[in-house]
Structure 1
Amino acid sequence: MTASLDISLHQHIAIRALRSYLRAVGDELGVGLESATIDHDTPVSAYLALDTRLPHCPDRDVALLWDEEHGWAIAKETHSGEDLLVLAYLGGPTITPSPKRVARFVNALYCDDRTVGLPNPPAIRAGGSPEELAAQLLAYRPTPTVAEPNAERLFQP
């Protein structure tokens, strides 16, 4: 994780908004922020470790990757410590799809549905402007709902 004590106000707002968004996605997937890291460099990116493995690669840890240009991707860890191997990109019109949409993406890949996602990184937006990133992240607001007593998350491995 890239850490900096000299973060501009707008960058700080974007990082706070990203943490909030990651928390919502993690809640939907059953993982906490302790499983996440954020890289403050441009393009801003995040890593969210998942607590499950995919059936077609049971010996590899799996993570969600997010960045301000391409949105979400799912990747598997390597044994050699090299970069993660991206399996698919979620794609779509926004870098901040709903946590339920991200969970459906993960669930489909968990069910070995290789028809979901994109093989190449989609160009959703150009990175670099902390103000625009903060605005897009702050535009994501979870819809308030009344919690059901035994409501289950969408992602159920």
Structure 2
Amino acid sequence: MARDAKDEGLLLSILDLKPTAGAATPSLESALAAYTRAVAEQIGVPLDAVTHEVTDTATAYLGLASRTADRPQRDLMLIWDERIGWYVAIEPRGNDQPPVICHLRGRIAPPPTTVAQFVTDVLDGRRSGQLSPIPPQLDRATLAAHMSGIPA
């Protein structure tokens, strides 16, 4: 349940345990937290508009300050889901299903710079389209390792 290496060291010391030798595989929670922060930084989203969680499904949410020209009255959000990756959607009203504006096809967790360019393209009207078929799901250890190895 550690958030990062420093937190892991503190938790292990409280339990009077030593870290295991070699490179540890990051938890999905810590990898997703760092990955989401890196994406938010690339896009310019303040951290108070960013959340993530790992439960039965790992997800991340970034509230976007910009709107599209064709829907200037509606707030937008950037969502990441471990099954389908990143997509831009309209903030739902009430319990509505959020209408998806565009899905970033390809890798489930592409580099933050790729995600930032995707958001810019969607906001500028250069990309549109609904969700594509769901790609095969990566196991969580592989996903965490992949996210941790992605440079900002």
Report if TM-score (shorter chain) is over 0.5: yes
Distance 2:149 2:86 in 1: 17
Indicate the residue corresponding to 2:115 in structure 1: 102
What is the CA-CA distance between 1:12 and the residue it aligns to? 7.4
How many residues were matched structurally? 132
Contact 1:61 1:76 in 2 (8 A): yes
Quote the sequence identity (%): 31
Residue from 42, 45, 68 that aligns with 2:56: 42
Indicate the residue corresponding to 2:131 in structure 1: 120
Distance 2:25 2:140 in 1: 5
Contact 1:28 1:103 in 2 (8 A): yes
> Per the alignment, in what secondary structure is the counterpart of residue 37 of structure 1?
strand
What is the CA-CA distance between 1:95 and the residue it aligns to? 1.7
Distance 1:39 1:73 in 2: 17
* Pairs within 5 Å for 1:74-93: 74-92=88-106
CA RMSD of aligned residues (A): 2.6
Is the alpha carbon distance of 1:57 and 1:40 closer, same or farther for their aligned partners in structure 2, counting shifts above 3 Å?
same
Mark the runs of 5 or more structure 1 residues left unpaired by the alignment.
Answer: 143-157
Is the alpha carbon distance of 1:71 and 1:141 closer, same or farther for their aligned partners in structure 2, counting shifts above 3 Å?
same
What is the CA-CA distance between 1:52 and the residue it aligns to? 1.3
Indicate the residue corresponding to 2:44 in structure 1: 30
Distance 1:90 1:117 in 2: 10
- TM-score normalised to the size of structure 2? 0.74
Residue from 136, 148, 151 that aligns with 1:138: 148
What is the CA-CA distance between 1:26 and the residue it aligns to? 0.7
Distance 2:57 2:74 in 1: 26
Residues 35-86 of structure 1 show CA distances to partners (whole Å, capped at 9, x for unaligned) of 1111312321111111111111111110100011211000001334423211
Rg (Cα) greater in structure:
2
What is the CA-CA distance between 1:118 and the residue it aligns to? 4.4
